Structures are given as C-alpha cells and as structure tokens.
Structure 1
Amino acid sequence: MRDVVAEALARKEPLAVEGRGSKAGLGRPVQAAHTLSLAGLSGVNFYEPEELVISARAGTPIAEIEALLSERGQRFDFEPMDYGPLHGRPAGEGTIGGVLACNLSGPRRLKQGAARDHILGVIAVSGRGEIFRSGGRVVKNVTGYDLSKGMAGSYGTLAVMADVIFKTMPRPPAETTLLLRGLSDGEAAQAMSAALGSSVEASGASHLPYGVAARVISGELGREAATAIRLDGFGPSVAARAQHLSAGLSRVGPLERLEGEASERFWRDIRDVAPFADGTESPVWRVSLPPMQGHDFVMALRMQAAADAFYDWQGGLVWLRMDGGRSEADLVRGLLARHGGGHATLVRAPEAERLSLPVFQPQPAPLAALSRRLKDQFDPAGILNPGRMA
C-alpha cells in the first residue's frame, strides 16, 4: 500500500481511496486518476474479549466484525450506522476503516459518543508515502496529538488506513423501548427532553412523525407518530427503569412497548435511516442542532420547501428528505443559522448536485485555515481523495 501511494505521489496522479464503495455517494465526487481499493485488506488481526479490544485490517466488513463480537456477547457501543441502504446498496458492505474515516455512530451516540471516542490505535500511510502508527491496545496510550482520533471524519483525505484497533463493550442482556403514540413534533421534543433528563439512563431517544413511523420494522407500527425511548442493561434494572419512566410518560400519551428483537430492529432502522432508504436519489440531509430547536427548524423549512423529516438524539439530529427534488442548500443552512446553529451535511443527492454544492457545512475561516494546515502536513500534494470534502 505504501508503494502504491508513493508511486501516485511520484507521478502526481491522485488516488480515490475506498473500502468496498458503500459510501461512494457520501461527500463530493472524488476527482482522481486511479482508485485504491482496500477490499482485499481484510481480516481480524487479534481479538481479546477479556481485554475488550479488537484489531482488524481496514477493509474488513463491519458486519463480519459485529458478528464476531456478538458471538462473545460484545458490541461496538457507538452503534455505527450503515450508509449502504440509503445509497441503494446492500446492507453490511461497509468496512471498519470506513467507520473511522467517516466517524460513524448511531442512536447511542448521545450517550456513548462516535467512532473517534472508541478508537485505540491505527497504522496508516500518509499522503507523503510514510507509514505511521498511533495508539495501541489500551485507552491511555497517547502522549501529545492523538493521530488515531485525527483520522476520524477525515474521509480518506489525510491518510490510507491499514489497521485499526477499537475498544469493545459487553452487550447488555436486556433491551426495551417505550413508545409514545400520536405526539406532535413539539410535544415529542418535550417528552424526550424529560426522559433524557431523568435518572433512567436512556440510550436512545427518537421521534417518527405521522407517516414516517410506517417505514420502520416492516410497517408494524402503522402510520401514527411514534416517540421512542430506549433502555438497556441488566433485566431487573431495565424493568425497574421502564416502570419508573412509564409512570411519568403515561400522563403524556398512550404507551406501547417493543421488547428484545423488535426493539433492536427498530433502532437498527433508525440508525440506517430506513425511512428514507427508498431507492431514489432524492436529496437527504443530516442536520445537527440544539435538541429543542429541531422541530422549529423543520416547521420553518416546511413553510418554504417540501420536506420529510424524523428526529434522533433527542431531536438534536434531524434527518431530512427534500421531496421537491432539489437540495435547497442555501435554505437549509440559512434556517439552521437562525435556529441555534449547527451542521448540515448533504448525505445523498445526484452527482451533479454534489459537485456544485458545499456538501459539508462550510467551516469558519479560522477552522478552515487549521484544516488546510493539517492537510498540508499529511498530504501536501493533495493526492488522497481530492475534492471529497471541499
């Protein structure tokens, strides 16, 4: 791999770096002469369940790793999402290197963080054609700048990862989801805030408005709005916390429950944005903003454009599908600035739109200058995934 990067550097021929292509539609189209595929760089280097640590080659499918962890009653606590279905590809194609490169997470991020909070170490090749190592097998393993975390969210523009080391966690033996039915977006925001502010230690809080609820777990919920609070842990603890939370939520609206596998299926669909995985290229936005501003932002947007939405992270993450067929980037980001600020990323759109629009939230000038200096240090010739982020 180092030789490939060094050859590209010598020839000044940019490389498109990818795992198995499941996130090729995420970010701007890469302008490169050749593709460096890591699909063949696959396999687990070591897995030590007792030490809660696993190392794998960057091209290893995340589905294979999660299956291995499940056999030992463990998981990745940051619940990495699978972008494949949203982009019309089969589920399970994403790689462990792509998880870190895109800093993936799921509904549990509000409690456990994202991939960058669970990475322990990496071996990678910079755009200079130099191999570097960062971190190791334990949490406190870095003095100075943590290059492992620096790779998170870099989308392959700083280095080509070869090996990654992640910490794992035990899988809780019990899980239940409390569902409030029929709430408006504003009512749901209040209910989720109350639940997350209580002592029940919820690990998920999502709201599916009317109609959107019918697009998860094979339509079993029907069309009525569903506001979901997830609890997991040891069985007696989950039962006691669910009883305590139910006593408060029952005053808000009718309550239902999803237990075990049904609850897992529900949150997997939320994680992978199943309501908008419709086989089209209709623009989809991932918008993060203050949780109590989410529903007001969506209402203001709907006054000016056709949009469908649902909420995760207690309302702090809004998934938008623009039903009018246009990305409406200026409108989305303009309204975002007036509702507490945040980030809006265009995660699905036709290639022509992704070429002409700032797909990622434009950075303030000081931060953009810092990003350029970081890029210049790792990839001064700009040969890795040029154009992917800016």
Structure 2
Amino acid sequence: MAPTRRYLDWNATAPLGAEARAAMMEALQLPGNASSVHAEGRAARAALEKARRQVAVLVGAEPTHVTFTSGATEAANHVLTPEFRMGRSPLTVSRLYISAVEHPAIREGGRFDRDQITEIPVTSEGAVDLTALETLLVAHDRSQGLPMVAVMLANNETGIIQPVGQAAALVHAHGGLMVVDAVQAVGRVGVDINDLDADFLILSSHKIGGPKGVGALVSRGEILMPKPLITGGGQEKGHRSGTENFHAAVGFGAAAEAMGKDLASRNAEIGRLRDLLEREMRSAAPDVIIHGQDVARVPNTTFFTLPGLKAETGQIAFDLEGIALSAGSACSSGKVGESYVLTAMGCDPKLGALRISLGPQTTEEDIAQVLAAFTKIAARRKPVGRAA
C-alpha cells in the first residue's frame, strides 16, 4: 500500500485556500473588463480594487501603491532597473547591491547589466553583513547615480530573517533605494512596509494560499517609481500595462485578507510543530545539521543536512515515503544542485540540504510520518568517510 501523501513544501507553493477559491469563482462570473466604464466594467473594477486594498492592508501600504504583476519575478524585473522617475524628472540608479543569498529572481539583477551588480556577503549565520554593506555604500560613487540595495526579508531556503530595517537605515543614510523581497515572510511574520523602512516590497500570491501567476510590487509612495517593464494600454496607473489577471488578483486579495487574520496564534502553532520536528530529528540522527537553528527564522522552515545523504537522493527517498519536500529553491526548473545559500554562509558547497516547510494545515500526523521517514532514511545512508 502506498504511503499517505504529506505535503511539506509550503515555501515552494501553498495549497489554494478556501477563501481565495471562493473569491475567484465569484470573480469568474463577472463578464466586464475592469477598464470599461459600463456597469459590468465598474463591477469588475470594484472587485479588483477590493483586492488591491486587501493586499495593501497585509503589508501596511496604501492601496494606490500596489501594482499587480504576473508574480514576484516580474515584480523584481520591474523594480530592479537603472531608470526611475522622481515625479516627471528622470533619475538614475547606477548600481545594484544584492545579498549573496538572494532568490534567483533578484540575483539575475533585473534590467541592470552584470557589471552594475555587486554582491553583499553574509555572515556564517546567514545574515547580511551590515559592516560590509556600509563599506560598499561609503565607496559608492553618487556622481554616477543612486545606489539600490535588494535584500530579502526571509530566506527561501533557510528561513533566516534578515536585518532589513538596519540595512534600510544604512541605505537611506547614503541616499539609496531599498527593495525588500518579502515573498517568504508575508503571512509568517508581521510585514509593514513603513516599519521596514522599505521603498519597495515584492510579493507573491501563491506563497500565501492564493493562485499562481499573480504577485505585486508595492511602493511606499508614487513620486519615485521605476520605468515600466511592460508598456501599452496604461493599466495599473501606467505602471504595468496589459489587461489585469483579474480573477487571480481577486484570489490574491482574498488570500491576503485570510492570511492577515490570527497571524500570531497560527504561527505559534506552526512553530511548535517545527520545533517538535527538529527536536526529534536531532534525537534520531545526532549528526543532523539544521541550518540557521540558532538565529531568528520564520516559524515554518527547516533546512537540514544529513551527512552522507545527497540532496537529490534524499528528495527522492522522502517522496517514496509519501513526503513532498524540496532540495533548496523550487524556482530553478526542477534542478537540484549545490546550494549557493550554504556556500555564501561558508558551508561546504557539496553538502546536500533538504527543506521542510510547514503551513496552516500541517498536523501532528504529518510530522509523525516525516519523522518516521527521516529515521529510516538516516539509518540507511552511507556513513561519511566510508569507501565506495
């Protein structure tokens, strides 16, 4: 008999929530285009603007500062550009500084040339090295343009929370722009664009129980905005042209509202299950390495190494035991390779690492089955140092 399937890959994508599903089904019945002025168009516009308000509330922003996109990757490519406008005046950003542990959507640098991108090192604990960042900002040549710094709030592999507020203070002291990838943080910790002192946030719907294929770029104001990535009909106030993915945006909004409720109590329970999992993992295999265990993390993520177990081998082994988990980021076309995040933290790049990520629907039964599979897999791995 095949084992019961247990889904523990919420950082890759969260199952579609009931609230989002219901909102999308209702939106699918609306025939109008949100850009049309007739009654049907106005009804669609009202639903779209409700979704914009729901997303804005989740991150403490103004609804007019939310631009819907096709996802976080498009939002990143939109905002990571040398070309901005301050009101009607052009403004140049001459260099992009990104942390060494950023998601591939940020690491690619958007519309910056490769020689305009500088990497900020991280500490052995996986946090942005603020001293190194300040050194880079001091050396930045303001005569060529402004600096832009992009740092994620929570790492997608390790779950480690980054010192974004401190980084933003440094960036703004040097006249720069602060972009925060909040994809893995929203719904797992409180996120407020003003408290973070961020100029822009990047969000993704499907990480919080909304549909795939929609995200948002959230700004703190509208005087300073990037040159549009997609031009045409002027939708989204000219920031992102093209007919909106209407029913997906409505689902995103519903998911955002649902995720904003009972945040503390929900994540306390998720954290309890994560702590139980890690405690029993260490009991079953004392040599297990849980990356970031001694620093602040989002409560749902465990990124671990079993010495002697390759990442791809482990992922397949857990899948055969009915467990869906990831080997690092799920955004690289299914490829399993060395983790650049671990490399940046000073770990052996050949270490295999697997990611377990929990969600609101995770149960103790899920954890029990994961632990049974973990114990079995740990017992049969090849001991480190044994000859092949």
> What TM-score do the two structures reach when normalised by structure 2?
0.28
Ranked by relative contact order (alpha carbons within 8 Å, sequence separation 6 or more), the top structure is 2
> What TM-score do the two structures reach when normalised by structure 1?
0.28
Higher strand proportion, which one? 1
